[in-house]
Structure formats: structure tokens, C-alpha cells
Chain A
């Protein structure tokens, strides 16, 4: 019940296209849903995040869509660029009092062809 299932495992998109990565969860106690971006040789970096009281959040070309009833959230990258080629991780945070637990998806390797 504490899993976050991420799909697809890998994705190839043409430059200018839309990249879509999906995540699903079961535990309704999750209250924060971040996406992290990781380039080769680097650690993950927070890209964008959303809370379940909002259905969509947009930052530049990156948008999170959140469907609370379906317990799903997705990352959309508009006008995808070769520089977006990276591994993307979704995650969900479970807060228990003063203790935070972050549950990670397994990642999606995105390649944007020029």
C-alpha cells in the first residue's frame, strides 16, 4: 500500500513533442507529490511538486496533473528538448507526526531526439 508505481520505464520523444510520465499510488495518506530529475553523474534534483488539493501545477514547460479520485499523477513536458533527456522519478510523501517518509517510483529514462 505504500508503493508508487511509475510508467513507462523508458520513453523516447522527438524534439518539440510532449513527454508524459505517469505515477499511481494506493495510500490516500500521501500528502505531497514531488518529481525529481536526474542527469547522468548527478544526484536527483527537485523539478516540481504538487499537493493533493490542487489538480494541476505548471512551471514553465513542466506540468503536473493530479487526479485524486484515481490516485494518479503525471508529469507533462511540453516542447521537449534534448536537454530534458534524463531520468525522472516521481515520489510521494507520507507524514506521520514529525516524521516524513518519502516513497519513490522506479524512474523513467527519457531520451529526446534532436
Chain B
């Protein structure tokens, strides 16, 4: 069974640009969560999607958005990039947000904003 796939693996953008990151969950997993990881800040929860609906949202500005498609694949978008958005963005999938407690993470997208 293939794991969680995130693309692209690395991304370099400049301030003011926007970026879209993609996540394909494990086959059969319907819940996708997104996290921002920076040194010293640990894993910061961005949002969680299930059945194409956002179920939970973290404390991030509206520049951060996401969506989930009918095949459970998910994308997150960051508009008007700032230097502080440089981070590793991780996607995690699970069977179902209400009953499944085991998260399976992808290897992440390393975003650098110059």
C-alpha cells in the first residue's frame, strides 16, 4: 500500500507569490490534516478535511486555505507569501477523524520564501 504522497518535495518562492501544495492520502483514508513545522515551534495544526469538508481549523491567517477532492486528495494554498511562511508543510491521513487516532504523515514539502 502506497504511503502518503506530497508534491512537490521542495519549493522556492518569493514574497508576495502564492503556492499550492498537494497531498495524496493512503488509499482508503478519508481524512487529511495539514501541519506547518518550523524549528522550535513543533507541529502547528493548519486544518483537517473529511469528505471534502473542513472539520477543524488552526490559528492561521486567511492566507492559508485548503480543499479536499472527492477522491480524498487534498491541496493547500498559501497566498501573498511572507518570509515567515518558510517551513516544512506536512500532510497526514487517517481513516476517519472521529474514530481513527493513528496519523500517517507524508515526507512534507519544504517551502522556502525569499
Contact = CB atoms under 8 A, between A and B. Distances in A.
Given A89-B43, A106-B41, A99 B97 contact: yes
A32 B103 CA distance: 13
Interface string B12-45: 0000000000000000000000000000111101
Contacts, number: 52
A99 B106 contact: no
A46 B4 contact: no
Contacts of A89: 42-43
A98 B98 contact: yes
B34 to A, nearest CB: 12
Contacts of A93: 101
A105 to B, nearest CB: 7
Interface residues of A, number: 22
Interface string A85-114: 000010001000111111011110000000
Nearest to A32: B101
Interface residues of B, number: 21
A105 B42 CA distance: 7
B81 interface: no
Interface in A58-94: 89, 93
Interface string A37-68: 00001111110010000000000000000000
B1 to A, nearest CB: 15
Contact of A43 (B4, B97, B98, B101): B4
- Best-buried of B40, B98, B103 by chain A (most CB within 10 Å): B103
B108 interface: yes
B47 interface: no
B56 A101 contact: yes
A14 to B, nearest CB: 25
Interface of B: 4, 40-43, 45, 55-56, 90-92, 97-98, 101-108
